[in-house]
Amino acid sequence: MKLFGVCALVLWISAVLQQALPDRMAILGARPDLMLVAVLTLGLLVPAPASIGVGFFGGLIQGALVGANLAQYVLTRMVTGYIASRLTELEIELSAPMAGLFVAVGTLLAQILMMFLAPPRSLGGFIGDTIETAIYNAVIAMPLYAVLRPILRTSRS
């Protein structure tokens, strides 16, 4: 119940911030993807079945917010959330910077999957934006992971 409550709260806050912040936080055109940060960071902290649920609802919310194809967002977020969760089963104690790195790689993976499902008009521009977003997401994921880890630590065991 606690796990469900925390995940729902984090996704709701991310959805609110996703609408209000990214354009205001843009640095040299780079914008964070806060919903993806939430999905991947939670994926690092919750069991694999729960990470699929987080990816599903994260993708559903993000797709609904922008009015884009829901299936594309749901599929990419579910897959990357699940992979993030399975990665942490490698018995490594994740530090916040390491979590940031995982979120950056997860962002790249999610957007590459998205690229195949919804081919962008300009491949170069899309890759450039994705790399910038991945770096930005990594920076945001570090404090988020540090805050959520003590709360969700017991949920994995």
* Contact set with other proteins (CB under 8 A): 12, 15-21, 23-24, 26, 29, 52-53, 56, 59-61, 64-72, 74-75, 78, 82, 114, 118, 120-122, 125-126, 129
Instruction: Name the residue nearer to other proteins (CB basis): 19 or 95.
Output: 19
Shortest reach from residue 93's CB to other proteins, in Å: 28
Shortest reach from residue 95's CB to other proteins, in Å: 29
Q: Please choose, from the candidates 89, 5, 97, 11, the residue with its C-alpha nearest in 3D space to the C-alpha of residue 44.
A: 89
Residue 154 burial class via C-beta count within 10 angstroms: exposed 0-12, middle 13-18, buried 19 and up = exposed
Instruction: Name the residue nearer to other proteins (CB basis): 47 or 120.
Output: 120
Shortest reach from residue 157's CB to other proteins, in Å: 23
Q: Residue 95 region, left (φ>0) first, then alpha (ψ -120 to 50), else beta?
A: beta
Shortest reach from residue 86's CB to other proteins, in Å: 12
What token pair was written down for 108? 């790249």
Report d(CA 131, CA 7) in Å as an integer. Answer: 26
